[in-house]
Amino acid sequence: MKVLLIHPFGSNWLEGRQDMILLANRSAPVGILSIAAYLMKKGIYVEVLNCTGPVKVIGYEETISRVRAFMPDFIGFTTTTSSFPDAYRQTEEIKRLFPDIRIVFGGVHVSALREDVLASFPAIDYVITGEGEKAMAELTAGVAPDKIQGLIFRNGAGIQSNGLRTDLCELDDIPFPAYHKLDGFPEEYLPPLFNYPKAPCSTIISSRGCPYQCSYCDRSVYRRSFRYNSAEYLYEHMAYLKKDFGVRHIFFYDDLFTFNRKRIEELCGMLRDKPLDMTFNCAVRVGHADNDLLRMLKTAGAWMVSLGIESGDPEMLSRHKSNVDLGEMKKTVKMIQKNGIRAKGLFMMGLPGETEKTIKRTTEFIRELELDDLNMTKFTPFPGAPVFKTIHEDGVFNEDWELMNCLNFVFVPKGIESKERLEELYKQFIKGFYTSTNWIRKFWPLMFKSPDSTLRMIKNLPAFLKIRKDFKPEGRK
């Protein structure tokens, strides 16, 4: 049995502009690599095709060439909302040329839309909802489709759904992601500039799910469950990346890395007693970080900590069930910085209820925080998020899946007069932050603290200057 797992491109920033994802934020697709590792453990021959590179985007012709050379029994696509159209176009061509290959779609987008996917897209044979390891292993092993939890399939002229999977994997039982299946890993997988002190870097996701109920988060895959790897597994994962691939810095892409304090204390103890000479970034939530824990994280190698703040307006946070206390947030940022760790704030602009006044409050709050770095995404209403159900009541929504990637304003809340005005406010915000005295004062030392970032910036200077021009507010020079 042979399986080809494909990670489609689907970035699609605005046409005619340099794609920032390819320049400064290309990470390993660890979700599909986890499925690959699980299938390989079951004795299945697996190849992985990452269409985002590493050196260049892989187009349809090369995809077809890879399929023809490998001739798999199954092809599995993992999709987000913005990558689904690209994946389906590839699927139609694959089915036209190789009709006997069975096509499986998984990921957040199809987990949210479920049966509608097969009803609307006839070239797809199966949809796996939720976590994919066990269902994909059973399907490729020949288990009858009606016996596989989490599977949606064509049954004669109809579509049958087997419901949600209840027997989820123990995360420590899943092998480390099959990083070796990626061409150019880790050197060609480029993290955000000045977000790391040394290269090469890699990504680890050490938990699944979230116990909180923020309105804008897609819960279609993990629902309300929350599970995590043990400290021992996590330490060995880091050691494996260091020994086998020379990785020197880790990005932990967990929403709640410090939620289980005992786990993090154990991990920090291991990294203290058996140092790996690695640094890492992680995310914390207010209420799950104090001075003692931050001191341990720093000693263990923490370089930057991210906080999901989203807005500086208390009413917006309450409306979207974020439950962030802005006063406590200020204290947490100061604690992080006091312990010698960089503090990065994560925000969204354009949520339902957003107005020019709420944006102004957020801007003022950010100025007070004196963050070391910031990421302001453009709110995107994804099908699996609670807010999606009422999105048309809250403003104007352009449901163009290819643009639904947090890089485009596809939704304009009632409190903002137009998309053009929202774009203008966004550009003003970005320019204001990155030209502020606070940012400039903190940026120059980074040129020496992250030398790999400095070299990348110099190497791609024309492209970065073009991006900078794209963010200038209209009428400004």
Contact residues for 203 (Cβ-Cβ < 8 A; gap 6+): 27, 28, 30, 250, 251, 253
pLDDT tens digits for range 302-361? 999 999 999 999 999 999 998 889 999 999 999 999 999 999 999 999 999 999 999 999
476 occurs within a structural domain: no
Backbone φ/ψ region at 200: left (φ over 0), alpha (ψ -120 to 50), beta:
beta
Q: What's the mean pLDDT in 433-452?
A: 92
Q: What's the mean pLDDT in 256-271?
A: 96
Enumerate the β-bridge partners of residue 243.
Answer: none
**Claim to verify: residue 318 and residue 275 sit in the same structural domain:** yes
**Bridging pattern class, strands 151-155 and 126-128:** antiparallel
Into how many domains does the chain fold?
Answer: 2
**Claim to verify: residue 143 and residue 199 sit in the same structural domain:** no
183 occurs within a structural domain: no
How many C-beta neighbours within 10 Å does residue 411 have? 26
Query: Does residue 69 register a pLDDT over 70?
Result: yes
Contact residues for 77 (Cβ-Cβ < 8 A; gap 6+): 5, 6, 8, 87, 90, 91, 103, 104, 105, 106, 107
Q: What's the mean pLDDT in 381-407?
A: 95
Tokens of 121: 């897209």
Domain boundary (161, 183, 201) is at 161
**Claim to verify: residue 343 and residue 411 sit in the same structural domain:** yes
Q: Residue 16: what are its φ and ψ, rounded to 5°?
A: 90, -5
Give pLDDT, residue 211: 83
Question: Which of 253, 337, 250 has the alpha carbon at shortest distance from 291?
Answer: 337
**Claim to verify: residue 281 and residue 153 sit in the same structural domain:** no
Do the beta carbons of residue 79 and residue 50 sit within 8 Å?
Answer: no
Query: Does residue 23 register a pLDDT over 80?
Result: no
SS (H, E, C) the chain: CEEEEEECCCCCCCCCCCCHHHHHCCCCCHHHHHHHHHHHHCCCEEEEEECCCCCCCCCHHHHHHHHHHHCCCEEEEECCCCCHHHHHHHHHHHHHHCCCCEEEEECHHHHHHCHHHHHHCCCCCEEECCCCHHHHHHHHCCCCHHHCCCEEEEECCEEEECCCCCCCCCHHHCCCCCHHHCCCCCCCCCCCCCCCCCCCEEEECCEEECCCCCCCCCCCCCCCCEEECCHHHHHHHHHHHHHHHCCCEEEECCCCCCCCHHHHHHHHHHHHHCCCCCEEEEEECCCCCCHHHHHHHHHHCEEEEEEEEECCCHHHHHHCCCCCCHHHHHHHHHHHHHCCCEEEEEEEECCCCCCHHHHHHHHHHHHHHCCCEEEEEECCCCCCCHHHHHHHHCEEECCCHHHCCCCCCCEEECCCCCHHHHHHHHHHHHHHHHCCHHHHHHHHHHHHHCHHHHHHHHHCHHHHHHHHHHCCCCCCC
Query: Could you tell me the sign of the dihedral formed by the alpha carbons of 448, 205, 404, 396, in that order?
Result: negative
**Claim to verify: residue 316 and residue 206 sit in the same structural domain:** yes
Least confident of 96-100, 247-251, 266-270, 472-476: 472-476
Q: CA 52, CA 213: separation in Å to the nearest integer? A: 31
Q: What's the mean pLDDT in 131-144?
A: 97
Domain boundary (116, 140, 161) is at 161
**Claim to verify: residue 131 and residue 196 sit in the same structural domain:** no
Query: Does residue 467 register a pLDDT over 90?
Result: no
Read off the amino acid at residue 356.
Answer: E
Query: Does residue 382 register a pLDDT over 50?
Result: yes
Read off the amino acid at residue 427.
Answer: K
Do the beta carbons of residue 358 and residue 316 sit within 8 Å?
Answer: yes
Query: Does residue 223 register a pLDDT over 90?
Result: no
Give pLDDT, residue 477: 39
**Claim to verify: residue 13 and residue 112 sit in the same structural domain:** yes
**Claim to verify: residue 198 and residue 120 sit in the same structural domain:** no
Do the beta carbons of residue 301 and residue 349 sit within 8 Å?
Answer: no
175 occurs within a structural domain: no
Q: Residue 42: what are its φ and ψ, rounded to 5°?
A: -85, 5
**Claim to verify: residue 33 and residue 80 sit in the same structural domain:** yes
**Claim to verify: residue 382 and residue 449 sit in the same structural domain:** yes
174 occurs within a structural domain: no
pLDDT grade, residue 15 (50/70/90)?
very low
Give pLDDT, residue 283: 96
> CA angle, corner 135, sides to 132 and 139, nearest 5?
130
Considering the chain, what percentage of its residues have pLDDT values greater than 90? 82
We report the CATH number of the domain holding residue 352 as: 3.80.30.20
Do the beta carbons of residue 128 and residue 104 sit within 8 Å?
Answer: yes
242 occurs within a structural domain: yes
**Claim to verify: residue 78 and residue 143 sit in the same structural domain:** yes
Give pLDDT, residue 58: 86
**Claim to verify: residue 449 and residue 330 sit in the same structural domain:** yes
Average pLDDT, rounded, for the chain: 93
Do the beta carbons of residue 304 and residue 372 sit within 8 Å?
Answer: yes
Q: Which residue has the higher pLDDT, 419 or 287?
A: 419
Q: What's the mean pLDDT in 255-263?
A: 93
**Bridging pattern class, strands 249-252 and 201-204:** parallel
Do the beta carbons of residue 140 and residue 117 sit within 8 Å?
Answer: no
Query: Does residue 5 register a pLDDT over 50?
Result: yes
180 occurs within a structural domain: no
Domain boundary (139, 161, 183) is at 161
341 occurs within a structural domain: yes
Q: CA 228, CA 205: separation in Å to the nearest integer? A: 9
169 occurs within a structural domain: no
We report the CATH number of the domain holding residue 82 as: 3.40.50.280
Contact residues for 212 (Cβ-Cβ < 8 A; gap 6+): 321, 323
Give me the domain span that covers residue 71: 2-161
